[in-house]
Chain A
Amino acid sequence: MHEVSISYRPERRAPVQALRDVSLQAQEHELLAVVGPSGCGKTTLLELLCGLREPDSGTIDCPPAALMPQRDLLLPWLSALDNAALALRLAHMPKAQARARASRVFAELGLDGFERARPYELSGGMRQRVAFVRTLLSGKQVLCLDEPFGALDAITRTEMQNWLVQALRSEPRMVVLVTHDVEEAVVLADRVAVLSPRPGHVLETAEVGLPRPRRRTDAPVVALREQILQTLGLDEAAAHEGVERA
């Protein structure tokens, strides 16, 4: 996307600019993380990529993208397998064939045994996995993940991050991951774009370039996280010093 701007025009209120001149690029099979404070237009950015909105100005040149929202939004009347196979069914693939395809991916990503479970029988982490497979099976070249692990507890989140790395190793895609968790961005991404508060614009794009698997405690991970937090004006070390001095 190049110099994209978009505003909301709520009824009877002044328009709110969500994004200002945002330019981002990503390569095939690259994981681009977008971090920023809440309300900086991250979700809007994904909606632009998925074609759910049109920008006011600027251009978007993006292959077809599928969205994975923060809430799993699995359909309670379908089994886990049928939820995952939803896109295939919407594309008029016969039921048996769609299920066979989805169960292959289930097996590949360690979800076998849960095919027939209803969403309400699954844990939060499992539901997100099924939602991810649903996004994956859309066949789109780009996956837009909107805070996919934001609603999970810390332990499950770490598990899910590891799982996502594995999943993308076996099913490589271009991924745009939106998160407010800088650490998550550094652990998962190839590059991290840092957005300012509203109206969001890119403050910095950081190459991660660290070998995988990464741990949140690895020194380079911590250093990069620190650097990005500084860009956001949230320098933890400085804050600590301030406390100590006072």
Chain B
Amino acid sequence: MNKSEGKLLRVLLPAMVLVALIGIWEIYVDSGGVSQFVLPAPHAVATALWNNSALLWSNFKTTAIEVVLGIALALASGFGAAVAMHFSTTLRRALYPLAIGSQAVPFAVLAPTLVFWWGFGIFPKLVIVAVICFFPVLVTTLDALWSVDPDQLKLLKTLDASRWQAFRVAEAPAALPAAISGAKIALAVAVIAAFIAETSTGATVGSATGLGWEIVNDITALQTAREYAAVVVLMVFAVACFYTLALAERRLAPWAHQSRGEVR
């Protein structure tokens, strides 16, 4: 198989799976297996997507900002916290259990406090997305820092490297692709985190309230097709974000992909 054939197949394969799934879905709904208000047919979702494109776009922008900034915040703080915990055993012992515990907090509980502090703007929503995404970044980065070859550090010591130089030369580059891997895992929950953030902290001030709000409103208004259209937008967005991160990883850490050609 040559390169361009492989590339084609990589697009064709998921497209074929998608078409097959949509086909089964369409036949199921059209054959009267389920009410249009419970599960809309794919063609109805497509129509809703087309008819509401302006509304979906403006809500999408709000949610996209929450997800992208939230992930960026999680990546920066997760990496920073991992480095701090790597350097200080005391800090790790003190904070690691708390970081794990933070993952168990249902945000509906904290939402009123966050709104009380920061209002109905985008910031409390960012915080929720960031806290949920922080953990996988922290864990992968900490593990990568931990698994740097001790012989490597010994060697650097005989070359008179300071602790900080050893970190910069050997540990940080090893941890970077791991942190991005953590962000890739985080991305899987980031979109749901944004949904939770929007629905638990109230509408963002202004007209565009985000896709999470729209989905909740559409559920109550029995606008099932539009609700599914919003979900389609979220899914496409998640996939796009994932491959953006994968590309960023290739750019920033090409050595981690020396033997494999594929973006994973």
Contact = CB atoms under 8 A, between A and B. Distances in A.
Contacts, number: 53
A227 B135 CA distance: 62
Contact of B160 (A73, A76, A87): A87
Contact of B158 (A67, A76, A120, A121): A67
Given A73-B151, A73-B152, A52 B255 contact: no
Contacts of B159: 66, 86-87, 90, 134, 138
B176 to A, nearest CB: 9
Interface string B158-197: 1111000100011001000000000000000000000000
Contacts of B258: 76, 118, 120-121
B61 interface: no
Interface residues of B, number: 19
B30 interface: no
B172 to A, nearest CB: 10
Q: Which 9 A-B pairs have the closest CB atoms?
A: A76-B255, A67-B158, A87-B159, A50-B158, A120-B258, A77-B173, A90-B161, A66-B158, A77-B255
Given A67-B158, A73-B149, A73-B151, A118 B165 contact: no
Interface residues of A, number: 24
B10 interface: no
The SS class assigned to the B binding surface is helix
Interface of B: 149, 151-152, 154-161, 165, 169-170, 173, 253, 255, 258-259
Nearest to B165: A90
A138 B59 CA distance: 59
Contacts of A91: 160
Nearest to A92: B165
Contacts of B152: 73, 75
Given A75-B169, A87-B159, A87-B160, A52 B154 contact: yes
Given A69-B151, A90-B165, A118 B255 contact: yes
Contacts of A69: 151, 154-155
Nearest to B168: A90
A71 B160 contact: no
B175 to A, nearest CB: 12
Nearest to A52: B154
A138 B170 contact: no
Contacts of A181: none
A138 B151 contact: no
Contact of A65 (B154, B155, B158, B259): B158
A63 interface: no
A110 interface: no
A51 interface: yes
Contacts of A118: 255, 258
Nearest to B258: A120
B180 to A, nearest CB: 14
Nearest to A87: B159
Contacts of B149: 73
B49 to A, nearest CB: 44
A50 B156 CA distance: 11
Given A73-B151, A144-B158, 20 more contacts: A52-B158, A69-B151, A69-B154, A69-B155, A71-B151, A73-B149, A73-B152, A75-B152, A75-B173, A76-B255, A77-B173, A86-B159, A90-B156, A90-B160, A90-B165, A120-B255, A120-B259, A134-B159, A138-B158, A138-B160
A86 B161 CA distance: 10
